[in-house]
Amino acid sequence: MPELPDIVVYIEALEKRILGQTLRRVDISAPFLLRTAVPPISSVEGKRIVELRRLGKRICFGFEEDLWLVLHLMIAGRLHWRDAKPKPSKLSLATFDFDNGTLTLTEAGSRKRASLRLVAGIAGLAELDPGGLEIFETDRERFAEVLQSANHTLKRVLSDPRLISGIGNAYSDEILFEARLSPFALTQNLSGDELDQLFAATRANLAQWLERLRAEASDGFPEKVTAFRPGMAVHGRYKLPCPRCGRKIQRIRYASNETNYCPSCQTGGKLLADRSLSRLLRKDWPKTPEELEGLIGVTKKSKT
């Protein structure tokens, strides 16, 4: 799912192309995409884009007469810009035609989750705001207060849009690696120094990736938006060497998400329990990566 750095770079690219431009036509090809009926989507046709802003992981297109088109890309939604009208695509959910080009929304995969809402006024926009803390608009004290408002794991808190804005599965892995903290550490158990580490790591990691993605896009439109980037330290790097200590990156898989971490750098060498496997193995669940490697080796031999 595109997160804060990706969304900001999308918005900056859109500002260069459609800010001040008039939306001539909207074509919605996927009936599930549009989640509102009033105002009608046709009401933005013929109106200028006067502002673009981020709302958590959403992109908000502000039109004349205080109308807001709010796009949530979810996991597989992506935006594409063409100076000329593109050819129809099976992946296309919607097209937005301007005098200087066309913006296309696509979504890969069979599970269509991207959503588009049209709301009137700032009040309508506020109803869609999850309310998470903006990390670059707060201080360490407020960050700690929100983080410790309930006793949850760090992974859960960082990726909860009601608590922290714009962070999801990928960047939470990277932040926790940089802070040298376990994804399963409980917020109310953190020391003052650990809170300092996490606050600094959150800001530094997001700022670093924001600059990387800006440089990658340059003056073009960001087309390579992905949750798995070669420069990441742990996310999507299962079994690859940790860039800090060289030990193998481990992961925990659940539903459609996964948590990636370095046991040596983040958990004192301990292997975090995978929910499904640990239930199966119970007391035999390995405590270290070395024990896990041994278990995998035995399993492979038994199959042969």
Domains (ranges, CATH) in the chain? Answer: 4-126 (3.20.190.10), 134-272 (1.10.8.50)
Q: How far is CA 139 from CA 142, 143, 154, 240, 272, in A?
A: 6, 6, 18, 35, 31
3-state SS track over 76-109: CEEEEEECCCCCCCCCEEEEEEECCEEEEEEECC
pLDDT beneath 50: ranges in the chain: 277-282, 284-286, 288-304
The whole-number pLDDT of residue 192 equals 97
Report pLDDT for 44.
98
How much is the pLDDT for 57? Answer: 97
pLDDT at 85: 86
pLDDT score at 255: 67
How high is the pLDDT of residue 285? 42
How much is the pLDDT for 109?
81
Task: Give, for 145, the enclosing helix (H) or strand (E).
Answer: helix 140-147
Q: pTM, whole model, 2 decimals?
A: 0.89
